[in-house]
Amino acid sequence: MNSFIDKLQTDRVQLHEEMSGFMSQCRDLILGFHILTPNAGEITQGFAIALKFDAKKADFDRLIGIHPTVAEEERSVIPLPGIEPGPCG
């Protein structure tokens, strides 16, 4: 594992062992969304609607991801090994 990530004190989670995809979790609130991938606008539009209507992380957890798509990865996050989630301020 990257030594920078090992020392990083954060509340971020890692997407399926990809170091370039992080999602920040904070008390079930979703504060924003960024993704760099081909056709990102198609994914972003759905999340923009969800954010507009104050969707929570639990709302995304109840969705069934369309497979195979990049967007399905946004609902399945796993904690970074050795890093405990901290409070968000």
CA angle in degrees (0–180, nearest 5) for 80-82-87:
75
pTM for the model stands at 0.45
Confirm whether 29 is domain-assigned: yes
- Closest Cα partner for 23 from 87, 79, 64? 79
pLDDT at residue 83, rounded to an integer: 63
Structural domain count, the chain:
1
**Residue range(s) defining the domain that contains residue 18:** 8-78
Catalytic residue list? 67
Q: Which residue has the higher pLDDT, 28 or 48?
A: 48
Measured CA to CA in angstroms, residue 44 lies from 36, 39, 40, 71 at distances of: 10, 9, 6, 9
Report yes or no on 46 lying in a domain: yes
Residue-wise pLDDT for 45-82, tens only, equals: 888 888 888 888 788 888 776 676 766 666 555 555 66
Domain-located, residue 54: yes
Domain annotation covers residue 84: no
CATH code for position 24: 3.30.390.30
Residue 19 lies in a domain: yes
Q: What is the distance between the terminal CA atoms of the chain, rounded to a whole angstrom?
A: 27
